[in-house]
Structure 1
Amino acid sequence: MAAAPRAGGLADTVFDYAEEDPHRIALGRKGADGAWHDVTAGTFRDEVLALAKGLIADGVRFGDRVALMSRTRYEWTLFDLALWTVGAQSVPVYPTSSAEQVLWMLHDAEVTAVMVEHEDHAMTVGSVIDRLPRLKRLWQLDAGALAELVAAGARIDDEVVHRHRRAVTPDSVATVIYTSGTTGRPKGCVITHAGFMFEADTMVGRWHPVFRSRPGDEAATLLFLPLAHVFGRMVEVAALRGRVKLGHQPELSARALMPDLVSFRPTFFLAVPYIFEKVFDAARRKAETEGRAGPFDKAVEVAVKYAEAMEERAFGTGPGPSAGLRMQHQFFDKVVYRKIREAMGGRVRHAMSGGSGMERRLGLFFAGAGIAVFEGYGLTETTAAATANPPERTRYGTVGRPIPGTTVHIARDGEVWVHGAHVFSRYLGDPRATDEVLRDGWLATGDLGSLDADGYLTITGRKKEILVTSGGKSVAPGGLEERVRAHPLVAQCIVVGDDRPYIAALVTVDQEAVEHWLAMQGRPVLSPAQLVRDPGLETEVRRAVVAANTAVSQAESIRTFRILAHRFTEEHGLLTPSLKLKRKAIETAYAAEIDALYH
């Protein structure tokens, strides 16, 4: 368990790192030439200090709240640490936020300055700036703001910055992170320097096989999660505090991500299940195109069996892989698994998954293929992970045990309650909402779950998402949706049926996977309108639904479904930036399609 910090704040990490090991490579920065350039701890410290001086010169004061609206990139982390250096509080804003969302967050947080990435963001802020009287400054990264600030700060003495930095205490507010707002208006979670330090140090200490460097093989991670999300932010802090080389990639899509994984060559990364699904599906399609679908599927079976046998040995319920299974595993490691690892840079040994549930079989496959994926669970209110699977005893299909220093309790109604030093302090300016979830230091998460005999947590649903049919049957939609999505042609699934006679579903398809599926049958590409009426596709989706239904009772099963022509997107307000479904928005947008399922 990490010790509670007694003094200082998060920015001290940068200055201590540079003092101890100035020539060590701390970050990788992608240049305009597309190549990665090393940044030493000493250089990063100098850049943070120079920017901090510029912020002071431009009027940022201790305790000010400053918004950061950008994709995941090097400058985000630079600004974050510079703000902490001068004792300011960063307020992340998702780069895809609408003008109304931006207005709400900047107004609610009483933001005095905002850093945006490019002109589109500047225009979004500009469209509501007349309603933000406290907002005094707008910096645009792609318009040279960084250089201007550094130049402005050249006349400021270093000691002025250090006086600000030394005034920061562990109890000082580090950041206000707004919840993703799947239901209702986003709330600002107030998180202290101590909370972030405890979370990051606990993860680095307990999961040392992940964060630790080996001789001649320095630990490195490529961060592609949004830095406006607490999960991505924890990676940023943990990498710097754990002396792990940190790179940034701005797009959360497999197509954009895979080339950077190959060039940056991380030893581990943190992702959402969607990324692991896409990596697996791409490998499966490639094998099928090359006429090797049979051997690939056999390799999958061997990987899953091997990982299951290793899991049983870890828990003392089995002897481990048999000699025959080990031989098969060695064979497929050379012809299949190694290629999957090479597609992710060739050095990846571990990964962490969060944000939503990962199918057990997928986790087992990656473990068997040589990449141990540790699934965890947390919220903005818990400063990222509250539970995670321990490296030596991973139980696939669960979100693991409470991290050291954390206690998890299941309330009578099945709600998961969490207690620990990383639990947030309050919702900004909303004592009523705070009192609803914080009770004597315990956080009522709103999630439903169960603990097994070994203390491993399984999340079964969300209280606000439970559907109650007109027959009185309560159904948690999440598990059903995950099982339907396990089919390679399915992109998304939303289960409906609240106050209806039975459960039904809306399904969207993965366009790339469908095009491959059609090509393998020698069929031409179909338009979205043709696809939704295609009998063959309907048969495939029905298989996915039938497979999902085997895990639930008849009353909880999906009776009918409809394939939609277009995916749910963040741009249309149907997904959160962390790719969670906005149920109410989807049900409103597709009210006619849902009604048709019941007539």
Structure 2
Amino acid sequence: MQHDPIDTSVALHPDWRPGDTILARLAQNAAQYPGEIAMRERDRGIWQEYDWRAYLAAVTEFAAGLEAQGIGPGDVVMVIGDNRPNLYFAMLGIACLRAIPSPAYADAPTTELAAQMARENIRMAVAEDQEQVDKMLEARESWPALELVIYDDPRGLSGREPAGVMGFDAIRAAGAARLQAEPGLRDALITRASVHDIAVLMHSSGTTGAPKGIPLKHGHVLSGVRNAAAAGYFRQGEVHMAYLPMAWVGDYIFSIAAATELRFSVNIPEAQETALHDLREIAPSLYFASPRAWSAMLTRVQVGIAETKGVKRWLYDWFMPRAMAAERARLAGKPGAGGLTRWLGEWLIYGPIRDQLGLARVKRAYTAGEAIGEDVFLWFRALGLNLRQFYGQTENCALAVAQGPDDISLTTVGRPFPGVEMRIDDAGQILLRGDNIFDGYFQNPKASAEALVDGWLQTGDAGQIEPDGQLVVLGRVSEVVEKRDGTRFIPTYIENRLKFSPHIKDAAVIGQGRDMLVAIICIDFQAVGQWAQENGVAYTSYAELSQTPRVYDLIAGQIAAVNASLPHGLSVARFANLHKEFDPDDGEVTRTRKLKRNVIDDRYGPIIQALNDGADQIDFKARITYENGQTGSLDRVLRLADAGDS
């Protein structure tokens, strides 16, 4: 891979300063705040701490060791695993060499990883543990160009490394020896990269084909962070929990770019399974979660309250509805309740719940990625969190538009950050321009030319700007389709509103070229399971629960409530509860849980047709994927039902 010519990047970004890189910010932190804690990781229950001096040492030592293995400018190195300090150190060490870290999702199957390696000509990879190393070795069978796999966790590997596998500590030790023998090497590693070099190679979701590489340069990510900081989105010295997938742009922006620019304390939970427990101990000041995660947190509270009796249940049932009503009034521009009622609620209910969730110290709470349910949004704001929505994409470093702290709306996502321009084109598409916007896709000039026109990013999202300057996001332009009678609709718009129900985890709405809209529903197993327990509905599995008549009645009522709020002609007429959740391993959704509509249409075509034909059940041969990657099938009888109107 050849770097974009520097002069081209300079022409696009004349205000960028040549040495203004994430690495320079890291070195500055190490020089000015050497003993300040930069990163903490919980390991076997004990918090291991890294100050800025240790952080820089780990990065430069790894870089020196990796260079000795033959990595240099333009080489792409895969990084895969859950959030771990050494993986973050590796990503910055790779950037020191003007090479390119390319993070992959930890749960990606071998076939996806091998395809990514081939597209990006990857010769080396950094993997978290034995599980990921095994996947790398399996991928090497179809991509033999993979020369070296570097592992972090030594369990099961140390002293028994297969050919072409080395430990992170061994690479780092070799690098430390080089730095000792070559006095000028450390400073050279810190200063080699330019603001115009690629800091990280992210990837599109791949809903309609192979994911596209999205190179983000040092200048892009630092511009994005500084724009956000100028809007009060980030503050110096935030306490942040790094739990999002490392392959997602949000984790890179929060845990690396903003963390080095604004000296965050980055806290890493022991495991994904302990993240919610560790959250309470970390008590961050900054917290981002997807609408799905906020909804799951609310469901957890509601399940706990449902199992509580006596005074605690009575206090919750008295205070929370009043707080939500007050917040709703406040957002409508009316005075909300306060005074003694709010003070008592804060002492008895709101504060204790925030503390139990680990949100007691959160000052900046955000959500993005898809629409958030009104009740979920209001509940957390009523709890005392200034939860705000923002809008961004990987192509703009996830930082483009956000709600202000005192300018909240249930329907908009806010205004552009300073340094970001926004307009709507004649087709209703949102266009963005600024130094945080990427310069084009990785080795894909055709897609780059389509995405960037006269410097404006064609986001592919339909939107409108309200008279007060706030943006409303309507859905993907490409997803605007028509029923047989010409009625236009965006499936995502309806699906998001269906998912506002705590009992619906996923939904696919189908109706293009047909007389009616129908939906395939994936229930939320935890929420519906709790409902079933409270209502005496017996079940033994997800599949059985999804097909019980009373659960169908429950979902039908919630679809009917959504129908009542939709424009004429866009009601969901019929639906089926699927026997399983949509699964990225089955190719039905991406790793970021975006629907792959072509797969849904093809795989569940018989269900869709039966719904349109008015059938009340279907014998469906369900495809299943086993843990070893092999597939099979299972016959299922699925109920089909009318949704109706409320």
The TM-score, its normalising length taken from structure 2, stands at 0.85
Aligned mate of 1:281, from 296, 299, 308: 299
Q: Which residue of 2 aligns with 1:499?
A: 513
8 Å CA contact 2:460, 2:476 repeated in 1: yes
Q: Residue 527 in 1 paired to residue 552 in 2?
A: no
Distance 1:504 1:298, change over 3 A: farther
Distance 1:358 1:295, change over 3 A: same
Distance 1:331 1:583, change over 3 A: farther
Comparing 100-109 with 428-437, greater Cα deviation is found at: 100-109
Q: Which residue of 2 aligns with 1:455?
A: 469
Aligned mate of 2:323, from 303, 306, 316: 303
**What is the correspondence of 1:321-470 to structure 2 with a 5 Å cutoff?**
321-322=336-337, 325-345=338-358, 346-470=360-484
Distance 1:140 1:415, change over 3 A: same
Q: Which residue of 1 aligns with 2:25?
A: 13
Secondary structure at the counterpart of residue 457 of structure 2: strand
Q: Which residue of 2 aligns with 1:205?
A: 230
Considering only aligned residues, what root-mean-square deviation do their CA atoms show, in Å? 2.1
Secondary structure at the counterpart of residue 296 of structure 1: helix
8 Å CA contact 2:223, 2:436 repeated in 1: yes
Instruction: Name stretches of at least 5 consecutive residues in structure 1 with no aligned partner.
Output: 214-218
- Equivalent pairs: percent with the same residue? 24
Q: Distance in 2 between matches of 1:394 and 1:263?
A: 29
| Cα deviation, residue 531, structure 1 | 2.3
| Cα deviation, residue 310, structure 1 | 4.0
Q: Residue 160 in 1 paired to residue 185 in 2?
A: yes
Aligned mate of 2:56, from 29, 45, 58: 45
Q: Which residue of 2 aligns with 1:545?
A: 559
8 Å CA contact 1:66, 1:88 repeated in 2: yes
Q: Which residue of 1 aligns with 2:171?
A: 149
8 Å CA contact 1:383, 1:423 repeated in 2: yes
Q: Distance in 2 between matches of 1:141 and 1:122?
A: 10
| Cα deviation, residue 193, structure 1 | 0.8
| Cα deviation, residue 174, structure 1 | 1.5
Please give the per-residue CA displacement for 1:62-111, whole angstroms capped at 9, x wherever unaligned.
33221111122222211112112232211111122233322222222222
Please give the per-residue CA displacement for 1:326-352, whole angstroms capped at 9, x wherever unaligned.
433223222221232112323223211
Q: Distance in 1 between matches of 2:60 and 2:93?
A: 7
Q: Distance in 1 between matches of 2:610 and 2:46?
A: 52
Aligned mate of 2:250, from 231, 239, 255: 231
Q: Residue 109 in 1 paired to residue 109 in 2?
A: no
| Cα deviation, residue 408, structure 1 | 1.3
Secondary structure at the counterpart of residue 495 of structure 1: strand
Q: Distance in 2 between matches of 1:408 and 1:518?
A: 47
8 Å CA contact 2:374, 2:500 repeated in 1: no
8 Å CA contact 2:22, 2:260 repeated in 1: no
Distance 1:5 1:343, change over 3 A: farther
Aligned mate of 2:606, from 576, 592, 599: 592
Secondary structure at the counterpart of residue 556 of structure 1: coil
| Cα deviation, residue 591, structure 1 | 1.9
Q: Residue 28 in 1 paired to residue 43 in 2?
A: no
| Cα deviation, residue 431, structure 1 | 0.8
Secondary structure at the counterpart of residue 150 of structure 2: strand
| Cα deviation, residue 197, structure 1 | 0.8
**What is the correspondence of 1:182-193 to structure 2 with a 5 Å cutoff?**
182-193=207-218
| Cα deviation, residue 131, structure 1 | 4.7
Please give the per-residue CA displacement for 1:435-478, whole angstroms capped at 9, x wherever unaligned.
11110100111111111111111111112222321121111122
Distance 1:296 1:558, change over 3 A: farther
Q: State the 4+ residue runs in structure 1 displaced beyond 6 angstroms.
A: none
Q: Distance in 2 between matches of 1:36 and 1:499?
A: 57
Q: Residue 222 in 1 paired to residue 233 in 2?
A: no
Q: Distance in 1 between matches of 2:507 and 2:53?
A: 48
8 Å CA contact 2:367, 2:389 repeated in 1: yes
Q: Distance in 1 between matches of 2:497 and 2:315?
A: 24
Please give the per-residue CA displacement for 1:403-442, whole angstroms capped at 9, x wherever unaligned.
1111111112211111111111111111111111110100
Q: Distance in 1 between matches of 2:350 and 2:247?
A: 33
| Cα deviation, residue 124, structure 1 | 2.8
| Cα deviation, residue 294, structure 1 | 6.4
Q: Distance in 1 between matches of 2:21 and 2:364?
A: 29
Q: Which residue of 2 aligns with 1:242?
A: 262
Please give the per-residue CA displacement for 1:205-227, whole angstroms capped at 9, x wherever unaligned.
3225x5345xxxxx311121111
8 Å CA contact 1:179, 1:380 repeated in 2: yes
Q: Distance in 1 between matches of 2:352 and 2:316?
A: 11
Q: Which residue of 2 aligns with 1:572?
A: 586
Please give the per-residue CA displacement for 1:128-180, whole angstroms capped at 9, x wherever unaligned.
42554653321122235211111221321252242233121111122221111
Instruction: Name stretches of at least 5 consecutive residues in structure 2 with no aligned partner.
Output: 1-14, 159-166, 614-646
Q: Distance in 2 between matches of 1:515 and 1:597?
A: 26
The TM-score, its normalising length taken from structure 1, stands at 0.92
| Cα deviation, residue 239, structure 1 | 2.0
Question: AA paired with 2:71?
Answer: V
Question: AA paired with 2:340?
Answer: M
The size of the alignment, in residue pairs, is 581
Comparing 231-240 with 329-338, greater Cα deviation is found at: 329-338
Question: AA paired with 2:307?
Answer: T
8 Å CA contact 2:523, 2:546 repeated in 1: no
Q: Distance in 1 between matches of 2:132 and 2:86?
A: 15
| Cα deviation, residue 522, structure 1 | 3.5
8 Å CA contact 1:363, 1:397 repeated in 2: no
